[in-house]
């Protein structure tokens, strides 16, 4: 009987392995990749094998998904996806929320944002949504005023009032931590801050408040009802993954569920 039970269990495991689905998920460096590796551990016994593929910028993961080189991606917030679909014609769809990563203001020379000098150089992301997000943070801090009606994607051209005469340096988001050597401050996405050894909790001199930029899981439009999508979302939004995020990031990364 014991041998039969063991044999039956082995058959069940083999059958489950045979039925397992393999998918490729694109991520950006830092917390998105680290969390997806944890999601993969949760998803495996659920019959979903996740290959995590890391991209060094914000443009390629959506193109790769649209081209069918990925099954899903996890790296972007809603405004960024909406802007990408508008500009590039991607047919992509959100299938679940993931995390919120408040943007931070960092400096190698200042410990208080109130000490920002006249004519300071301010490094911000050069893509419309994250650059606009950075400008909105600067407005919330009282450093600039933006023209009305710019929504979530203002540019430096929309700065209406700039009492300190701030000079904006627009760079690829991944390069912003390096810009701290030259700029007075840099407004940096959390994933790139963490990847460069910066701690949002300890090193940021200001943080984004009440962020509308929830991050999302994205697939090709038309695939959202496939069974593996539900499994991916359930694995991501699991108690195990939430515990991992809360323990590892200590409030620098917030879960959305």
Round to whole Å and give the CA distance between 158 and 146.
6
Same domain, 117 and 198: yes
Residue 210 clears pLDDT 80, i.e. is over it: no
Kindly report the CATH number assigned to the domain that includes residue 73: 3.40.190.10
Q: At 39, is the pLDDT very low, low, confident or very high (cuts 50, 70, 90)?
A: very high
Provide mean pLDDT across the span 83-112: 96
Please name the helix (run of DSSP H) or strand (run of DSSP E) that holds residue 166, with its range, or none.
none
Round to whole Å and give the CA distance between 198 and 141.
21
Residue 8 clears pLDDT 70, i.e. is over it: no
Round to whole Å and give the CA distance between 147 and 52.
41
pLDDT of residue 27: 98
pLDDT in tens, 174-193: 999 999 999 999 999 998 99
Q: At 12, is the pLDDT very low, low, confident or very high (cuts 50, 70, 90)?
A: very low
Q: Which sign, positive or negative, has the C-alpha torsion 83, 75, 241, 20? A: positive
Asked if 32 and 74 count as a contact pair (C-beta separation under 8 A), the reply is yes
Q: At 19, is the pLDDT very low, low, confident or very high (cuts 50, 70, 90)?
A: confident
Per-residue CA distances from 20 to 13, 148, 228 (Å): 10, 51, 10
- Average pLDDT across the chain, whole number: 92
Domain-located, residue 26: yes
Provide mean pLDDT across the span 37-66: 96
Q: Which of 40-49, 76-85, 232-241 has the lowest mean pLDDT?
A: 76-85
Residue 212 clears pLDDT 60, i.e. is over it: yes
Same domain, 61 and 125: no
Domain-located, residue 13: no
What is the extent of the structural domain holding 225?
20-101+213-255
Same domain, 185 and 226: no
Same domain, 151 and 185: yes
pLDDT in tens, 219-252: 999 999 999 999 999 999 999 999 999 999 988 8
pLDDT of residue 59: 87
pLDDT in tens, 121-157: 999 999 998 999 999 999 999 999 999 998 888 999 9
């Amino acid at each position: 009987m014991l041998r039969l039970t063991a044999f039956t269990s082995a058959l069940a495991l083999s059958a489950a392995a045979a039925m397992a689905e393999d998918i490729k998920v694109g991520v950006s460096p830092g917390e998105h990749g680290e969390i997806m590796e944890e999601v993969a551990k949760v998803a495996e016994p659920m019959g979903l094998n996740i290959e995590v593929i890391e991209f060094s910028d914000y443009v390629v993961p959506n193109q790769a998904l649209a081209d069918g080189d990925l099954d899903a991606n996890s790296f972007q917030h809603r405004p960024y996806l909406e802007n990408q679909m508008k500009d590039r014609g991607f047919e992509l769809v959100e299938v679940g929320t993931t995390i919120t990563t408040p943007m931070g203001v960092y400096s190698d020379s200042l410990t208080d944002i109130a000490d920002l000098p006249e004519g300071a150089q301010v490094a911000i992301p050069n893509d419309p949504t994250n650059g606009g997000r950075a400008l909105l943070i600067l407005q919330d801090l009282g450093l600039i005023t933006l023209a009305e009606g710019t929504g979530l994607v203002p540019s430096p051209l929309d700065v209406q009032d700039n009492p300190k005469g701030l000079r904006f340096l627009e760079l690829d988001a991944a390069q912003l931590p390096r810009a701290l050597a030259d700029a007075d401050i840099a407004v940096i996405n959390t994933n790139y801050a963490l990847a460069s050894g910066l701690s949002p909790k300890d090193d940021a001199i200001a943080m984004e408040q009440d962020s509308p930029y929830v991050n999302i899981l994205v697939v090709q439009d038309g695939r959202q009802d496939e069974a593996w999508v539900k499994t991916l979302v359930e694995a991501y939004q699991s108690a195990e993954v939430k515990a991992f995020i809360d323990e590892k990031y200590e409030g620098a990364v917030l879960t959305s569920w």
